[in-house]
């Protein structure tokens, strides 16, 4: 019998297509300024055996009234409680760009202490290892015109959105907050993860280089795999089927190693 879902779902978590009977869960963390809706297409591209749960940061969509911010300890608590509420199914964490670093910190937090086991897989996307040495540009305080030009260069925002003053009034505060978190982020020393790490990126993304992607191998006691796809920073928008296929294969391999069934 499937476990009963929590009576009061955490506001940090969104289920685009609930699959409580699925044997595995994928928690997805958005890019800077992004929201849970970025992962709305993912359930259709993944096999039914994986339920997608998108993480919603404050200051956007149904949390628009909350002050924006990134609290990795709180996010880890939300994921931990959700895993326990749904029967402690094996799970993976996926994060794109800023979300990769958030997922990394959440994976670290979930890998210690009591409660459900740590993740079966950590998947990081569009982000070099934080110790790779590449300086992060100071973006959070840029004048609006310069910040919009930077967003346009990434290619993830429709031109009409960047030209809509009312929409920008909603989008820019959480973006600036996320960028400020990124600028101040510095990982603390911690034991290497017990799960494998999968690294994804766009082949034409000039913000990440192969050595920085390969450096994620130093964060795991298991294997690390790097895959790149023919596109830019938001490669998954064009390569979603291929990305989800590879991600599902990596999770299945990780679960086989841990003794779980495909």
Active site residue ranges: 97, 233
Angle of helix 98-110 relative to helix 165-184, nearest 10 degrees?
50
**Cα separation of 47 and 61, whole Å?**
27
231 exposure class (CB count in 10 Å sphere: 0-12, 13-18, 19+): middle
Cα(97)–Cα(147) distance, integer angstroms? 17
Pick the closest to residue 125 from 245, 252, 243 (CA basis).
243
Instruction: Report the Cα 147 to chain-centroid distance in Å.
Output: 22
Please enumerate in sequence order all residues whose Cβ is within 8 A of that of 150, keeping only pairs 6 or more positions apart, or say none.
Answer: 139, 142
In order of 11, 165, 178, 210, 245, the CA distances from 82 in angstroms are 11, 37, 24, 34, 25
* Structure tokens, 195: 């799960």
Whether residue 154 contacts residue 179, with contact meaning beta carbons closer than 8 Å, is answered with no
Token pair of 46 as six digits: 């993944």
């Amino acid at each position: 019998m499937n476990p009963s879902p929590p009576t009061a779902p955490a506001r940090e978590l969104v289920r685009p297509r609930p699959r409580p009977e699925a044997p595995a869960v994928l928690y997805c963390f958005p890019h800077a300024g992004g929201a849970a809706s970025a992962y709305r297409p993912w359930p259709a591209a993944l096999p039914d055996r994986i339920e997608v749960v998108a993480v919603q940061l404050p200051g956007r969509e149904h949390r628009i009234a909350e002050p924006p911010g990134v609290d990795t300890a709180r996010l880890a608590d939300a994921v931990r409680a959700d895993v326990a509420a749904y029967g402690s199914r094996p799970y993976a964490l996926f994060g794109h760009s800023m979300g990769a670093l958030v997922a990394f910190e959440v994976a670290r937090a979930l890998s210690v202490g009591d409660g459900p086991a740590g993740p079966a897989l950590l998947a990081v996307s569009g982000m070099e290892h934080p110790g790779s040495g590449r300086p992060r540009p100071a973006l959070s305080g840029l004048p609006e015109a310069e910040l919009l030009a930077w967003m346009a260069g990434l290619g993830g925002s429709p031109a009409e959105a960047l030209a809509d003053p009312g929409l920008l009034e909603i989008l820019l505060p959480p973006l600036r907050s996320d960028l400020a978190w990124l600028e101040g982020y510095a990982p603390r020393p911690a034991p290497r993860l017990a799960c494998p790490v999968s690294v994804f990126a766009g082949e034409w993304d000039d913000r990440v280089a192969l050595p920085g992607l390969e450096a994620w191998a130093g964060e795991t006691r298991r294997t690390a795999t790097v895959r790149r796809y023919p596109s830019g920073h938001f490669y998954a928008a064009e390569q979603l089927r291929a990305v989800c296929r590879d991600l599902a294969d990596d999770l299945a391999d990780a679960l086989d190693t841990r003794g779980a069934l495909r």
